[in-house]
């Protein structure tokens, strides 16, 4: 981040501002998601779940932009912490997408079951 801040301080400040704004939005969406559980409101839960996922995607995009603009020298060591951090981020994103797919599959099954129960 120092390299980009030295080259263009306004860009560095803008990125930091976006990160803090995104984190605040993520916290807000997560709190709303938790609040939707009491009393249980599946529509609100679904809406706020989408908001949390959207904010996580935005944060991931900011991370990607930062990494693209601030490449580190390639290290052949398997203990390269940057590579490990990127792998961890991708694994976390994969888990997020798996949850989304499972949720969609469950909703599809529920709709199919409702359809068959109504057709009888």
Assess whether 5 and 26 both reside in one domain. Answer: yes
**Same domain (yes/no): 64, 102:** no
The range of the structural domain enclosing residue 89 comes to: 75-120
Same domain (yes/no): 14, 45: yes
The full DSSP string for 15-34 is: HHHHHHHHHHHHHHHHHHHH
Q: How many domains does the chain have?
A: 2
Low-confidence ranges of the chain (pLDDT < 70): 1-7, 72-79
Phi then psi dihedrals of residue 8, to 5 deg = -150, 90
Return the pLDDT at 72: 67
Whole-number Å distance between alpha carbons of 98 and 51: 17
pLDDT of 73 reads: 61
Task: Output the pLDDT for position 81.
Answer: 74
């Amino acid at each position: 981040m120092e390299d980009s801040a030295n080259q263009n301080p306004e860009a560095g400040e803008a990125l930091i501002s976006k990160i803090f704004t995104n984190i605040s939005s993520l916290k807000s969406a997560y709190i709303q998601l938790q609040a939707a559980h009491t009393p249980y409101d599946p529509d609100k839960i679904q809406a706020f779940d989408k908001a949390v996922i959207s904010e996580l995607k935005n944060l991931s995009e900011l991370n990607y932009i930062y990494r693209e603009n601030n490449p580190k020298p390639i290290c052949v060591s398997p203990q390269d912490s940057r590579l490990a951090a990127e792998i961890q981020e991708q694994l976390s994103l994969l888990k997020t997408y798996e949850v989304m797919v499972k949720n969609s599959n469950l909703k599809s099954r529920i709709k199919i079951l409702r359809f068959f129960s109504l057709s009888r």
